[in-house]
Each structure stands twice: as structure tokens, then as C-alpha cells.
Structure 1
């Protein structure tokens, strides 16, 4: 009998990738905290997770016959974050304390998903070995 990884692993196989993308966005915000005019970015996690689990993808336009067709799985729409602090005069909307908290929260949830997936794989391994 074949193993269905979608059924065995559930939604957690997709949350790992979306959490990684979210971590990249938050880390970029923190790195750009002193850049004048930089606008903090974020993502709607639920929409990104739906897109990842549905296998939604976009294809790139071919503008030349010699171009190689390509597509990319959608990892969620990147949005600008609503500023939570008054403008400091340079147009930067990054709130470093908020970004650090979001990063920590995202990393804890990412690790929880990895731990959950690890447990699922251990269970599958035991089932295959007949233990």
C-alpha cells in the first residue's frame, strides 16, 4: 500500500516553507531599520498557507522565443505593514521591537512545525519497519 504524504504530514509540511518566507521578510525589515524611506513588509500567514497548500503557482511571461519557460510556487503576497509608531522624519516604518517579537514568535512556531514533522516521520519509519 502506498503512503500518502499529504495525508500523513498534513498542513505542517506547508507551514515550514511559509514560516521560512515570513522569517526572511522580518529579517529584511530588521536589517533595513535604519534605511531612510524603507517600508516594513509582512505577509498574511493564512492566505500564504492556503496558497502553498493548494499548489498555486505563477508562470513567467516569455518575451523572447529563446527564453526558458518557468513557474514559481506562490509563497504568499508580500504586503506593506501598517506603521505602529510615529514617523521619525525619514519615512522608515520599521518598528524594531515589533519586528523582533514577530521574528521570535515566528521562529517558535517554525520549530514547533519542524518538531511535529519529525514526530510524523518517526511514526512513519516505525510503521515501515513494522515496530
Structure 2
């Protein structure tokens, strides 16, 4: 019987992927806090993994053509954040909010990593018979 890692990991691997991507987006917002007209971005789990409508399926009219899928826009579900109080230079980054979201995302990453680690440890024990 084959092991299905997708079922065994119960989505924790996808959550780690999402948390890593969100950390990069939030860090980019923090890095651009003083950039005029910079618009703060964020990403949600749904927008990252359920953006089927943004995919472009390439047509194939010959058996020698390569089948493929392309992303439109290529932003992987990035959304603009609604500012609570934009600055005069048009920048919408709120440093307190960004730092709080980054810290929250970091804790959630650690939690997902811990769950995934325990899943893998359980699989190792089951395979080794201990």
C-alpha cells in the first residue's frame, strides 16, 4: 500500500508554503515603509491556492506542441491592503500593523511546522516499528 503524503500531512505542508510567502510579502511592506506611493500588499490562503480563474490554459492543435498552464499577472494572489490612515506621500504601509501581522504570521508558521514535524515523527515511528 502506497503512502499518500498529501493525506498524511493534512495540509500542513501547504500552510507552511503559504506562511513563507506571506512572510516575504509582509517583509516587503516593511522594507518599503518610506517609499512614496508604495501600496501595502497582503496575501490570503484562499487567494494563493484558489486562483484557478487567473490561469491561462495554452491551446494545443498539434500533438508535438507542449501542454502548459501560465499564470496571468504572476502575483500569486497578492491583494492590496486597505489603509486605515494613508500618509501624505501616498504610502499605505502602517508599520505597527505590519510588525504585528509579521509576528502573528511567524507564530502561526512555528505552529504549522510543529504539527508537520509531529506528523513526520509519527510516520517514522510507524515505519520503524517503535
Instruction: Flag whether TM exceeds 0.5 (same fold).
Output: yes
Q: Aligned partners of 1:77, 1:25: CA distance in 2, in Å?
A: 11
Spell out the pairing of 1:23-102 with structure 2 (5 A cutoff): 23-48=23-48, 50-51=49-50, 58=55, 76-85=76-85, 87-102=86-101
Q: Is the 8 A contact 1:30 1:96 kept in 2?
A: yes
* TM-score normalised by L of structure 2: 0.80
Q: CA offsets per residue over residues 19-55 of structure 1, 9 Å max, x none?
A: 111110000000000000000001123332x439xx9
Q: Is the 8 A contact 2:47 2:76 kept in 1?
A: yes
| Equivalenced residues, count | 122
Report the equivalent of 1:7. Answer: 7
> Following TM superposition, where does structure 1 have runs of at least 4 consecutive aligned residues deviating by more than 2 angstroms?
44-48, 55-61, 68-76
Q: Aligned partners of 1:75, 1:115: CA distance in 2, in Å?
A: 29
Q: Is the 8 A contact 2:47 2:78 kept in 1?
A: no
Alpha-carbon spacing, 1:90–1:80, altered in 2? closer, same or farther (3 Å): same
Report the equivalent of 1:16. Answer: 16
Alpha-carbon spacing, 1:46–1:38, altered in 2? closer, same or farther (3 Å): same
Q: Aligned partners of 1:15, 1:34: CA distance in 2, in Å?
A: 30
Q: Which runs of 5+ in 1 are unaligned?
A: 62-67
